[in-house]
Structure 1
Amino acid sequence: MMKLDGIAAFVATVEAGSISEAARRLGWSKSVVSERLAELERTLGTRLVQRTTRKLSLTQDGGNLLPRARRILAEVDEAAAEIVERRGSLAGPLRISAPVSFGVLHLGRVIYAFLAEHPELELSLELDDRFVDPAADGFDAVIRHGPVEDSRLVAKRLAVTRRTLVASPSYLERAGTPKSIEDLQRHSGILYSNRDTDWRFASADGWRVVKPRTCMRVNNGIIMRDAALAGHGITLLPTFLTYSEIASGSLRHIDIDMEAEGAELYVCYPLARTPSAKVLALVDSLRTAFGNPPYWDSAC
């Protein structure tokens, strides 16, 4: 029969990339991690990890076991947390992923207050701009900005966000202020590299897509904002990235008499998994903190 500490040693070794790092994360000695991993392999009658002097790599059997092993550990953690929750408190691990720019600018203060309210939680927050799969990547929930088209996920809306064209006063004085779609296409654009048709505007005839002259492509909103502040061109960003700069005058809204395509912030978790009280409590805290309309739009 497989033992939990063997499964824990296997998962930690794979995720850490070495037995010594797995031992540090688990708080065990290297010899104990090696023994537990070897014992698991003996129990299953197969090699799970290939060990060399330079690196560790998964065997085919190890690769097949890994997602199930992660789920087993998550279920055990969740079961233990539920017992604590029935006593009226939230406890145990909570692993969340969120976009980098939004996380840096807006998640910290909410999460600090959430942890102060629930001191028995063990929160892991990973900031990543790629579309993270919560089930495959071992997250309890992920925060996404934009459409959620995966039918395997439940998406709970946190806030509706607006996107607006912005540029620095120095750029607009040098290049002129566009008044129309046609004007906009002649300007330098700072574009988000994770979207092919990022500049979309609602018109009476449907969506209009604008492809400005590209001066920069990057997959991070804060760098896009800072490039605009430096006077390199016009960019289209959610107001949660620009509301402070608009208020101070260091960036200006550009009005072309069309509304840019907006987006929504969601918390997503796997459809096949019942959401824990921890995830639901976090959703409530985020909604309350952001407000309706969100505070970054109220400030604009």
Structure 2
Amino acid sequence: MDRLQAMMAFVRVVETGSFSGAARHIGVGQPAISKTIAQLEDRLQVRLLVRSTHGLTPTDAGLRFYERAKTTIQEADEAELEARGAGAGLGGRLRISAPTTFARLLVIPRLPSFLAQHPELGIDIVLDDRVIDLVSEGIDVALRMGQLSDSSAVARRLARGRRSVLATPAYLERAGTPSLPAELAAHEAIVYSQLENSWMFRKDGTEASVAIRGRVRVSAAEGIRAAVLADIGLTVNSDWMFAPELESGAVIRVLEDWELPPVDLWAVFPTGRLASAKARAFAEFVERESL
């Protein structure tokens, strides 16, 4: 019995809920699938499937075997793709996760060239500012900004961006332009509630720690942008988040001679399995774009 083919048959049975469904998917007769699963259970000396009103369902042991078998099949497929040099023509679907505003401004507008390179590839984009579980959500690669909360994550740094104090000319005309970091305490700040809002500014060996405060706290970057563009206050944020406005002059930097900690962009891959060729190709594409 071919172990990989047996794993594939078992995975298809679990996903379709029946021997007949797996047989149609693989292109063999139902008796062959039934015999393969029986041989697999005999070899492992454990019951993998039970019949229920909903069809065939995996036992606890079967569910654990399913997860491992599915990963093994994926890795075998990726190994074949790499051996064939198939990276130049990827296919199937790629499921990515990215922060909403960052993806809207800087990732999605660049996708046409990536899709043109891989005409057989489809992309599912999950937009979420939260750190989601990649395995349970079926994510192939996630783009994340800042410090990674999980030190065991399989990650690759793609880019490093500048942070600045940002505001509209209209707000600065009304409230005045700060010339020192300490003056930020007197300003109305748009606070990102998912971050610590105490910042260390550096200039010529001098350091200044400032905690920015404001009446408006926002849980997503899109809200930060909207509040700043409504002239409510200033913010400390990555230049990436205001790239179009910085280019047009609708938002400007202040305290430019003071340096803030940079922000990193990461590609994070699911733990427990190899990153797919599609996921790696997408991460390399984002890195080449030098966002």
**TM-score (structure 2 length as normaliser):** 0.71
Q: Distance in 2 between matches of 1:184 and 1:167?
A: 12
Aligned to 1:213: 214
In the TM superposition, what is the alpha-carbon distance from 1:271 to its structure 2 partner? 6.1
Aligned to 1:246: 246
Identity of aligned residues (%): 31
Query: Deviations for 1:165-201, whole angstroms, at most 9, x for unmatched residues?
Result: 1112222222222222221011111111211335442
Contact 1:166–1:254 at 8 Å: present in 2 too? yes
Aligned to 1:129: 129
Which letter maps to 2:96?
A: I
Which letter maps to 1:128?
A: D
Q: Distance in 2 between matches of 1:229 and 1:87?
A: 42
Alpha-carbon distance change, 67 to 178 in structure 1, aligned in 2, over 3 angstroms: farther
Query: Structure 2 matches for 1:138-153, cutoff 5 A?
Result: 138-148=138-148, 150-153=150-153
Query: Deviations for 1:59-86, whole angstroms, at most 9, x for unmatched residues?
Result: 9889867855763674476467557645
* Aligned length, in residue pairs: 266
Q: Distance in 2 between matches of 1:207 and 1:63?
A: 54
Contact 2:182–2:208 at 8 Å: present in 1 too? no
Q: Distance in 1 between matches of 2:200 and 2:149?
A: 19
Aligned to 1:37: none
Structure 2: tracts of 5 or more residues without a match = 26-36
Q: Distance in 2 between matches of 1:107 and 1:265?
A: 12
Aligned to 2:277: 277
Aligned to 1:19: none
Structure 1: tracts of 5 or more residues without a match = 14-22, 29-39, 53-57, 295-300
Aligned to 1:117: 117
Query: Structure 2 matches for 1:47-196, cutoff 5 A?
Result: 68=68, 71=71, 74-75=74-75, 78=78, 81=81, 85-86=85-86, 89-148=89-148, 150-196=150-196
Question: 1:261 and 2:256 equivalent?
Answer: no
In the TM superposition, what is the alpha-carbon distance from 1:137 to its structure 2 partner? 3.8
Which letter maps to 1:234?
A: L
Contact 1:158–1:266 at 8 Å: present in 2 too? yes
**TM-score (structure 1 length as normaliser):** 0.69
* Local SS of the residue matching 1:95: strand
Query: Structure 2 matches for 1:5-16, cutoff 5 A?
Result: 7=11
Contact 2:78–2:277 at 8 Å: present in 1 too? no
